[in-house]
A and B are shown apart, each in its own frame.
Chain A
């Protein structure tokens, strides 16, 4: 049985208390708003992408410890990554959160993001954690569409 310590790992609690990269990013190239209708939590993710590399990620919004920490950890994890690496990380985190990770090789390069591993034991809280990631993904893909039409 999952226990509370697995969900509320120290890294997660720290990022909830002191969210990193919190605040709007003025020079953002991609922005998307996320909303969790279950709890009413709202999140905005800002990305600055140049030459296919994420140079900056910020977020704003409010939510539970899981959603805040997941967003904060995400901003740290994505900085400096290429779009392809972001896609790979998105998939890996999604697998981690939904309990689909099969072994250590799936998560070894996730670093601090492994603090999200306990969430899969709390199915009702998975959406709290995926909100930031889906919002980030929407920001990248929707903005890409806009760019392609120019």
Chain B
């Protein structure tokens, strides 16, 4: 039988081990050692973009120094090596998301690029006037505007799944909104503004009953949890490399093979064709069908390095550590007078949004910057969500596995200084 004393000791040992692990992880990220305004950088804007480990920076550097050539074209060794390295990332991205086949992995410019691709290509083939696209009240603009453009083109109608004041999706309303007119459910996995983790598996199962395809915006989830697209049974899953410790300007669209084969091309150009004559062009098979033009080769190679890096981490331990950190930060900030937390759904990850009575988030952001603390202040590209919550903006601290309780303490200590400055 375990005595309370031993429990405590075990807990302490576990906590110490975690701290050691985090110190080791932090040493992989060179930028975390720089100073801002004479203070150590406290980077709490991971929902905007994550920092890059040495292995990613080195992979991009090495590619340009030793491997740079265009892919899928050259008949020389350098191009062959670049193509092999590029296509190897497709394989590892497929494993990372547990896609059935690497041909279901399309490289894009990012989450926005991926959603636009689906809205345009899938939408133009499947969506007609009077059809409905279902999104939620907590979507990022990138999962709103591409569907609005589609609706404008086709005469389809955008429907919105409402949320509670805590920032939880209303599943009761969701199931009622699904109908035989619904052509697509496009839903954010983790809210970038609130941190809410949506019950997407359950939502996909509901949509599946009506044979409605589901696109999951995974921009904010993939850096915090393991994702298995087969287990989720989603039709499309989109992510950004730069929010996954990889370079900017690269992302992944996973699409079920049956959809990718049926969808018309998105953009026309080189690489996406099999043969071209002025009379008739035959298109390549997926994934090349959706990758017109020279891709972001260095970005893809950097993303591959990021995925390899993440494969060396234990998601369960990371999840537990981040959960502990978010809980700690939530308690710390909630205890500060005048601070109100925005987004208090029971299931959250990575994001702590807040407002302070009488002080605009922009002023919070500027003042925290003088303590070396980087947070985001604004509407987080979720203006309809801000309207729903009756806010124009929030301040947002967002975490990664390399953040620490000490950094949370620095944030909590810095907030009362804002009151001093603003009077």
Shortest CB distance B372–A (Å): 13
Chain B residues whose C-beta falls within 8 Å of the C-beta of A122 in the assembled complex: 366
Q: How far is the CA of A16 from the CA of B363 in the complex (A)?
A: 11
Chain B residues whose C-beta falls within 8 Å of the C-beta of A64 in the assembled complex: 360-363
Chain A residues whose C-beta falls within 8 Å of the C-beta of B362 in the assembled complex: 39, 63-64, 66, 125, 128
Assuming the A-B contacts A63-B360, A66-B362, A125-B362, are A41 and B421 also in contact, with contact meaning beta carbons closer than 8 angstroms in the complex? Answer: no
Contact of A39 among B37, B359, B378 (CB under 8 A): B378
Chain A residues whose C-beta falls within 8 Å of the C-beta of B386 in the assembled complex: 40
Are A39 and B379 in touch, CB under 8 angstroms? yes
A114 at the interface (CB under 8 A from B): no
Contact with B along A105-130 (1 / 0, CB 8 A): 00000000000000000101100100
* CB interface residues, B 336-376, toward A, < 8 Å: 359-363, 366-367, 370
Chain B residues whose C-beta falls within 8 Å of the C-beta of A7 in the assembled complex: 366
Chain B residues whose C-beta falls within 8 Å of the C-beta of A104 in the assembled complex: none
The size class of the interface chain A forms with chain B is: 20 to 34
Are B37 and A1 in touch, CB under 8 angstroms? yes
Assuming the A-B contacts A39-B379, A40-B378, A41-B392, are A4 and B360 also in contact, with contact meaning beta carbons closer than 8 angstroms in the complex? Answer: no
Chain A residues whose C-beta falls within 8 Å of the C-beta of B392 in the assembled complex: 39-42, 62-63
Shortest CB distance A93–B (Å): 20
B75 at the interface (CB under 8 A from A): no
Chain B residues whose C-beta falls within 8 Å of the C-beta of A17 in the assembled complex: 423
Contact of A40 among B363, B379, B421 (CB under 8 A): B379
* CB interface residues, A 117-150, toward B, < 8 Å: 122, 124-125, 128
Q: How far is the CA of A41 from the CA of B393 in the complex (A)?
A: 8
Contact with B along A1-34 (1 / 0, CB 8 A): 1011001100001001100000000000000000
- B391 — nearest CB in chain A belongs to which residue? A40
Are A38 and B378 in touch, CB under 8 angstroms? yes
Chain A residues whose C-beta falls within 8 Å of the C-beta of B423 in the assembled complex: 13, 17
B106 at the interface (CB under 8 A from A): no
A65 at the interface (CB under 8 A from B): yes
Assuming the A-B contacts A62-B392, A65-B363, A125-B366, are A8 and B37 also in contact, with contact meaning beta carbons closer than 8 angstroms in the complex? Answer: no
B383 at the interface (CB under 8 A from A): yes
Which residue among B361, B383, B422 has the maximum number of chain A CB atoms within 10 Å of its CB?
A: B422
Shortest CB distance B338–A (Å): 14
Shortest CB distance B393–A (Å): 6
Chain A residues whose C-beta falls within 8 Å of the C-beta of B250 in the assembled complex: none
Q: How far is the CA of A42 from the CA of B367 in the complex (A)?
A: 22
Chain A residues whose C-beta falls within 8 Å of the C-beta of B252 in the assembled complex: none
Q: How far is the CA of A8 from the CA of B420 in the complex (A)?
A: 11
Q: How far is the CA of A32 from the CA of B276 in the complex (A)?
A: 54
B156 at the interface (CB under 8 A from A): no
Chain B residues whose C-beta falls within 8 Å of the C-beta of A13 in the assembled complex: 422-423
B377 at the interface (CB under 8 A from A): yes
Shortest CB distance A124–B (Å): 8
Chain B residues whose C-beta falls within 8 Å of the C-beta of A39 in the assembled complex: 361-362, 377-379, 392-393
Are A65 and B360 in touch, CB under 8 angstroms? yes
Shortest CB distance B376–A (Å): 11
Are A8 and B422 in touch, CB under 8 angstroms? yes
Q: How far is the CA of A63 from the CA of B366 in the complex (A)?
A: 14
Chain A residues whose C-beta falls within 8 Å of the C-beta of B422 in the assembled complex: 8, 13, 16, 65
Are A4 and B370 in touch, CB under 8 angstroms? yes
Shortest CB distance B414–A (Å): 12
Q: How far is the CA of A16 from the CA of B377 in the complex (A)?
A: 18
Q: How far is the CA of A64 from the CA of B360 in the complex (A)?
A: 5
Shortest CB distance A1–B (Å): 7
Chain B residues whose C-beta falls within 8 Å of the C-beta of A125 in the assembled complex: 362, 366
Are B393 and A8 in touch, CB under 8 angstroms? no
Q: How far is the CA of A144 from the CA of B331 in the complex (A)?
A: 55
- B417 — nearest CB in chain A belongs to which residue? A4
Shortest CB distance B226–A (Å): 34
Contact with A along B380-423 (1 / 0, CB 8 A): 00010010000011000000000000000000000000000111
Q: How far is the CA of A65 from the CA of B37 in the complex (A)?
A: 22
Shortest CB distance A116–B (Å): 15
Contact with B along A80-119 (1 / 0, CB 8 A): 0000000000000000000000000000000000000000
Which residue among A4, A62, A125 has the maximum number of chain B CB atoms within 10 Å of its CB?
A: A4
Chain B residues whose C-beta falls within 8 Å of the C-beta of A65 in the assembled complex: 359-360, 363, 422
Q: Nearest 7 CB-CB pairs, A to B?
A: A64-B360, A64-B362, A40-B379, A40-B392, A65-B363, A39-B378, A13-B423
- In addition to A63-B362, A122-B366, 6 A-B residue pairs with Cβ atoms within 8 Å of each other are A7-B366, A17-B423, A39-B377, A62-B360, A63-B360, A64-B362
Using a CB–CB cutoff of 8 Å, the interface residues on chain A facing chain B are 1, 3-4, 7-8, 13, 16-17, 38-42, 62-66, 68, 122, 124-125, 128
Cross-chain pairs A/B with CB under 8 angstroms, 13 sampled: A3-B370, A8-B422, A38-B378, A40-B378, A40-B383, A40-B386, A62-B392, A63-B360, A63-B362, A66-B362, A66-B363, A68-B360, A125-B366
